[in-house]
């Protein structure tokens, strides 16, 4: 059992009032709050050893470089990657996916080739492939979603063919919380000769990730969903694939040597890290990983699963509430509509009670179209949430329903 009260004390923002009420933060799928250790790591970097990395020989530059590279080691362990050269720092999941689309995609996708994504993808795992397909005259195929918010796996298998070059799927849906059978997907994609990208934006905080066991070719995630800073993400790629890929952005750090005639790309992972990176936030990301490791992902997952179950018990009996997505395998997200009430109005009334939820399409417009709704109200849970907060949500929702209907 984890001591939630002690954990809550580590998050300063949880002490604040919103509209005169204690904050109930249930928007964790959008971004998680930050523990004091992460905030301290940021302040410590800027107040003690701010310097540009990799290029300096002075003490501050060496300290900053060591701290930056230490985070890479921590991420390697977090994802169970084979080597630290496979860990590329990005601005977030979005940039990781775009990196693959702009480099691997432009090199390997041609006319008539097919890319498979699913019907529950975030826009950042849709639009980069639309851009690529338009440029290359390739075809985007979509795995349908059933009424429970699960992937139709038979349909997925029948979409695979020798035309399939890439399968890019989220491990957990940010709108519905569905956990997808990515291992099965990766295996089948490989059997068809395709490579795979897993969008781990939501899963990295809830599941143990082992990219070698999954055998995915790429895995993208964001630090801010894992109690870390915004503006930092990770793209994992298998070394042989990364080595064969052309460079992404050009600039400092990503080169070995430059003349006016040509340039030689740097070794991995620096080949894909052009320019001065987000040093402070990368450094502080390590504190977030240590925070998660200190509690243990399985303990966090068990706490969140209990909260999810409790929340479903509290909200389902409210007759106006219709759950969207009831996947058997689900993590930390409860998405629902209230018949006759717009999600945004619900969100405003809940905010007036200090309750932060997300309302709208959650960057998944095609999924909302699938369910023929404009959007949902989404409550998403993190390690610091409590049953009392779920009670506050249920009470707040009933109040909102009375006001709106």
CA triple 268-272-275, angle to 5 deg: 120
Residues in the chain: 405
Q: Which two tokens stand for residue 11?
A: 């998050």
**Closer residue to ligand PMP in complex, CB, 223/283:** 223
Q: Which long-range contacts (CB under 8 A, 24 or more apart) does 299-304 make?
A: 299/2, 300/2, 300/205, 300/206, 300/383, 301/206, 301/207, 301/331, 303/2, 303/4, 303/383, 304/206, 304/331, 304/332, 304/381, 304/382, 304/383, 304/385
Catalytic entry in 133, 170, 221, 363: 363
Stretch that binds ligand PMP, among 18-26, 131-139, 195-203, 263-271 (CB under 6 A): 195-203
Applying CB under 6 A, does 201 fall inside the site for ligand PMP? yes
Least CB distance from residue 144 to ligand PMP, whole Å? 18
Q: Which of 199, 217, 304, 389 binds ligand PMP (CB under 6 A)?
A: 199
Rounded Cα gap, residues 93 and 125, in angstroms: 9
* Residue of the chain from 7, 41, 64, 92 that contacts ligand PMP (CB under 6 A): 92
- The stretch among 10-18, 108-116, 196-204, 332-340 that binds ligand PMP (CB under 6 A) is 196-204
Q: Which stretch binds ligand PMP (CB under 6 A): 179-187, 197-205, 255-263, 335-343?
A: 197-205
Nearest to ligand PMP of 96, 396 (CB atom): 96
Tokens 């204690």 belong to 22
- List Cα–Cα distances, 155 to 79, 135, 146, 159, in angstroms: 29, 27, 11, 6
Residue the block writes with tokens 């890929």:
245
Which of 180, 178, 177, 154 lies closest to 168 in space, CA to CA?
A: 180
Residue numbers 124-153 binding ligand PMP by CB under 6 A:
124-125
| Burial label, 122 (beta-carbon count in 10 A; 0-12, 13-18, 19+) | buried
**Contact string (CB under 6 A) for ligand PMP, positions 342-371, x = contact:** ---------------------x--------
| Binding residue for ligand PMP, selected from 71, 76, 93, 314, defined by CB under 6 A | 93
- Answer yes or no: are the C-beta atoms of 216 and 182 closer than 8 Å: yes
Whether residue 79 contacts residue 236, with contact meaning beta carbons closer than 8 Å, is answered with yes
Q: How far apart are the first and last CA of the chain?
A: 41
Q: Which two tokens stand for residue 226?
A: 């894992």
**ω before 41 within 30° of 0 (cis)?**
no
Q: How far is the CB of 358 from ligand PMP (least distance, A)?
A: 9
Write down the residue that tokens 């904050």 correspond to.
Answer: 23
Q: Is 94 in the site for ligand PMP (CB under 6 A)?
A: yes
Radius of gyration of the chain (CA): 22
Binding-site member from 103, 196, 204, 222 for ligand PMP (CB under 6 A): 222
Element (H, E) at 167: strand 164-170
Shortest distance in whole angstroms from residue 3 CB to ligand PMP: 29
- CA–CA distance, 396 with 377 (Å, rounded to integer): 13
Residue with smaller CB distance to ligand PMP, 7 or 32: 32
Of the candidate spans 11-19, 64-72, 120-128, 235-243, the one that interacts with ligand PMP by CB under 6 A turns out to be 120-128
CB 319, min distance to ligand PMP, A:
30
Which of residues 119 and 396 has its CB atom nearest to ligand PMP in the complex?
Answer: 119
Span interacting with ligand PMP, options 194-202, 207-215, 249-257, 343-351, rule CB under 6 A: 194-202
Which C-beta is closer to ligand PMP: that of 92 or that of 119? 92
Q: Is 363 a catalytic residue?
A: yes
Residue 355 dihedral angles phi and psi, to the nearest 5°: -100, 120
170 is an interface residue for ligand PMP by CB under 6 A: yes
- Least Å distance between CB 261 and ligand PMP? 36
Site string for ligand PMP, 247-266 (x = CB under 6 A): --------------------
| Part of the chain binding ligand PMP (CB under 6 A), chosen from 38-46, 75-83, 121-129, 180-188 | 121-129
Q: Please tell me the count of residues contacting ligand PMP according to CB under 6 A.
A: 13
Which residues of the shown chain bind ligand PMP in the complex (CB under 6 A)?
Answer: 92-94, 122, 124-125, 170, 174, 199, 201-202, 222, 363
What positions carry a catalytic annotation?
Answer: 363
């Amino acid at each position: 059992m984890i001591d939630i009260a002690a954990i809550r004390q580590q998050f300063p923002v949880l002490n604040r009032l919103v509209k005169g009420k204690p904050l109930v933060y249930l928007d964790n799928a959008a971004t998680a709050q930050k523990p004091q250790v992460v905030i301290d790591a940021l302040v410590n970097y800027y107040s003690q050893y701010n310097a540009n990395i990799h290029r300096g020989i002075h003490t501050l530059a060496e300290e900053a470089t060591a701290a930056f590279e230490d985070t890479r080691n921590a991420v390697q362990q977090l994802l169970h990657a084979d080597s630290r050269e496979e860990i590329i720092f990005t601005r977030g999941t979005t940039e990781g996916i775009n990196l693959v689309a702009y480099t691997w995609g432009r090199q390997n996708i041609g006319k008539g080739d097919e890319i498979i994504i699913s019907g529950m993808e975030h826009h950042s795992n849709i639009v980069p492939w639309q851009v690529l397909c338009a440029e290359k005259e390739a075809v985007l195929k979509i795995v349908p979603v059933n009424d429970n918010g699960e992937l139709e796996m038979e349909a997925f298998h029948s979409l695979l063919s020798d035309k399939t070059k890439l399968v890019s799927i989220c491990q957990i849906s940010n709108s519905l919380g569905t956990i997808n059978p990515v291992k099965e997907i990766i295996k089948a994609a490989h059997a068809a000769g395709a490579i795979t990208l897993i969008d781990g934006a939501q899963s990295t905080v809830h599941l143990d990730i082992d990219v070698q066991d999954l055998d995915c070719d790429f895995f993208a995630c964001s630090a801010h969903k894992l109690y870390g800073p915004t503006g930092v993400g990770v793209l994992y790629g298998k070394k042989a694939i990364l080595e064969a890929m052309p460079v992404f952005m050009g600039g400092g750090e990503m080169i070995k040597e430059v003349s006016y005639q040509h340039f030689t790309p740097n070794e991995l992972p620096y080949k894909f890290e052009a320019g001065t990176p987000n040093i402070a936030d990368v450094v502080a990301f390590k504190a977030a990983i240590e925070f998660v490791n200190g509690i243990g992902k399985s303990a966090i997952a068990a706490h969140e699963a209990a909260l999810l179950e409790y929340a479903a018990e509290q909200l389902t009996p409210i007759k106006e509430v219709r759950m969207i997505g009831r996947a058997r395998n689900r993590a930390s997200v409860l998405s629902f509509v209230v018949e006759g009430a717009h999600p945004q109005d619900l969100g405003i009334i809940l905010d007036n009670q200090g309750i932060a939820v997300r309302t709208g399409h959650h960057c998944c417009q095609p999924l909302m179209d699938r369910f023929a709704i404009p959007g949902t109200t989404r409550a998403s849970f993190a390690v610091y949430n409590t049953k009392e907060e779920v009670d506050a949500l249920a009470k707040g929702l009933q109040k909102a329903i009375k006001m709106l209907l």
